[in-house]
Chains A and B, each alone.
Chain A
Amino acid sequence: MTDPQNIEWCKKGLERGHAQLYKDCAPYVYSHIKRYIRDIDFRKDIMQEIFAKVFININSFDTEKGNFKGWVKRIAINECLQQIRKKRPLYNAQNIETSFDVVDESPLPTDLKRADIDLLLNDMPSRYKIVFMLSIIDNYSHKEIGEQLNITEATSRSQLTRARKWVKQYLLNNIQKELYG
């Protein structure tokens, strides 16, 4: 992801290390920010927060033992979740409707393009989106999601089920629009 030399420079506080590490990692970090933060103006602030944390805590990162990409990703996601919850609690009364769990195991389409995925996530209700992204994209277990969001594992599972159902319905609607206008 980045040259170990850059990490060493960052540990010494050299700006050239900061600059190079930023150039190497910023696109990857931004891809995570974009998924979690809708407000485009707010993304820059979060980007700065994340890299400030990376530079401050880089001394605690062991280049021989740790996976730098995973370490940066963890900081990025944690920061995004923290900022989301600071701005607006994830789960409040207005966002939660009483619903029935319907088990639907039918497969989802597999030929989605990147642009379709971006649109899909952009339109996905936030109450599903966080669990969906943490589980499907960031490989968090339901236990980890529960710990991160202070919900039970069962809630995480049911949210994911509903998210998948929503995705299916969303894709179906889009196909119908394309077919029938």
Chain B
Amino acid sequence: MDKFDSNLKNGFDHKSELPEGFGWDDIKEGIYEKMQTAKPEKNNQNWKWLILLLLIVCGSGTWFASKYSNEKKSIPNPILSIQKDKPVVSDNSKNVKTINNTDRPNNENISTADTPSQSDIKQQKVIGTKKRTHNTFNVNTPQNTIDNSIIESKKVSQNELNIPINYDNIDKYKTTKTTNKTSIIVAHNPSKISDNIDKLPSIVLGLIASHPSNLNPSKAPKTIEAIKTLAFKKHVSFGLAGGVLNWTAFDATNINHDFINGFPGYSINPSISLYLRPKHALQIDYEYGILQELFDYEGSRLVETAANQTVVEVRSSLTGNLLYSTQEDVTVYATRSYRELKYNQHKFHTLNLGYRFDQITMGKSSFGFYMGASYLLRINSKGKRLNEQLDVVSFDKNNPLFKENQLGLRLGIHYNYQLNSNIKIFSQLISTKYITNWELDDSNSSTRPLIYGVQIGLKYPL
């Protein structure tokens, strides 16, 4: 640095006086407006949010699990009351015995055979074989009765009655209030139900009987939903979906995205859902995806060409006569206009943990939503970007702005259709808003995109 440089530098190395209109009161409003439109940096908050989110997800799961467990213990038998001091079964050589209709065929109606002396008993049935586990139940209030439809459903053909006991089949047998009073004996092991007894009630009774420890005469499940809950067993289902996705990259404080537009990419998304209770599941899923964007920029750049010992001639434009000639090292400058049109790609792995709820069920269809946390690992990027100075630069893993690890919040809605007893086809709209920065620059500015997409897939219970 020579003295001139030093003089210049020193000349500028001090403060300038502020002109009028640059006082704090004059300028603060504009600063705060610009701060509001810019995205504040909250890196140090991200982990707190993630931990909070994970706690919510884990807490919800634990709550559902414990609630399910509690319900199992507390759901009483509304229909039945225990008469331990009045054993009804004397013959345990047979699995099932109907007292009033011992040898009645399976498809025969149950006769109700009311007698004044048995005013609180319309019929008695014996189910099961375990002598020491016999229980006798009385239905003695209108709300604590097995409805007529269950009894009447004995008319249903044997084929229908052979429907396996599961959650979905229960819908076919609805309970209603009745004044009939029925006393029923239920054994603990529903699998030993005799072929000689009508099977339809045994579906319900078997389900109830499968939870003998839950029988509590003081409380009553009043709806079919409660029976469904009793029938429900925790299970896992596997899903596989694929689809298209797009993204919106919001402008960062000083990273320019003016020339970038989202372009459809694609993803594949296997998932595992743990159903802790009907309609409620914890879901973990992995997603491999490719985000795409279209980079379209027109600019110009300076081109410099050096030539050693080049002959330079100056001629008159009128006569063409040579006026001057020399031989010099020459540098020729020019600008070159260009257009950059690139499809950028970002490949990533995502691991998501969330809660899935199938809210509305209509026949074979159901709708629901999903919420959870998302961790994304960018594998690589390929393409072009503008840097802060609007220069076109390559954007890949080696770019200093590239950031691998991202955290986000994931929300979705889904529609399921039950294809058969096992397989569901589903479609879902998923969006993930990232709460961490995707790019960094010197002043640690950022962008946090929103990724959204639509997928279709299949779900299969394991």
Q: Kindly report which residue of chain A lies nearest to residue B32, judged by CB atoms.
A: A52
Interface class of chain A by DSSP: helix
Contacts of A107 in B (CB 8 A): 2-4
Of the candidate stretches B214-222, B279-287, B385-393, B449-457, the one touching chain A is: B385-393
In the complex, chain B residues 4-30 whose Cβ is within 8 Å of any chain A Cβ:
4-9, 11-12, 14-19, 21-22, 24, 27-28, 30
Taking the complex as formed, is B87 at the interface, i.e. its CB lies under 8 A from any CB of chain A?
no
Q: Is the CB of A137 within 8 A of B253?
A: no
CA distance A137 to B9 in the complex (A): 5
Q: Is the CB of A117 within 8 A of B389?
A: no
How many residues of B sit at the interface, in one of the four size bands? 35 or more
CA distance A153 to B254 in the complex (A): 24
Q: Is the CB of A151 within 8 A of B302?
A: yes
Q: Kindly report which residue of chain A lies nearest to residue B45, judged by CB atoms.
A: A59
Q: Is the CB of B15 within 8 A of A28?
A: yes
Q: Map CB proximity to B onto A94-106 as digits: 1 under 8 Å, 0 otherwise.
A: 0011111100000
Q: Kindly report which residue of chain B lies nearest to residue A60, judged by CB atoms.
A: B444
Q: Is the CB of A85 within 8 A of B390?
A: yes
Taking the complex as formed, is A179 at the interface, i.e. its CB lies under 8 A from any CB of chain B?
no
Most A C-beta atoms less than 10 A away, residue of B4, B38, B444: B4
Q: Kindly report which residue of chain A lies nearest to residue B25, judged by CB atoms.
A: A19
Q: Is the CB of B24 within 8 A of A23?
A: yes
Taking the complex as formed, is B34 at the interface, i.e. its CB lies under 8 A from any CB of chain A?
yes
Provided the pairs A30-B22, A48-B27, A52-B35 are in contact, do residues A154 and B389 lie with their beta carbons within 8 angstroms? no
Contacts of A28 in B (CB 8 A): 15-16
Provided the pairs A60-B43, A74-B443, A82-B390 are in contact, do residues A31 and B22 lie with their beta carbons within 8 angstroms? no
Min CB distance, B403 to chain A, in Å? 14
Contacts of B28 in A (CB 8 A): 15, 18-19, 22
Most A C-beta atoms less than 10 A away, residue of B3, B7, B442: B7
Q: Is the CB of B38 within 8 A of A99?
A: no
In the complex, chain A residues 68-91 whose Cβ is within 8 Å of any chain B Cβ:
74-75, 78-79, 81-82, 85-86, 89, 91
11 A-B contact pairs sorted by A residue (CB < 8 Å): A27-B17, A28-B15, A49-B34, A51-B27, A91-B301, A98-B332, A109-B4, A114-B11, A136-B5, A136-B9, A154-B304
Chain B positions near chain A (C-beta within 8 angstroms): 1-9, 11-12, 14-19, 21-22, 24, 27-28, 30-35, 38-44, 253-254, 299-302, 304, 306, 312, 328-335, 388-392, 442-445
6 extra A-B contacts, CB within 8 A, seeds A48-B31, A57-B443, A85-B390: A40-B19, A51-B27, A52-B35, A136-B8, A155-B304, A158-B331
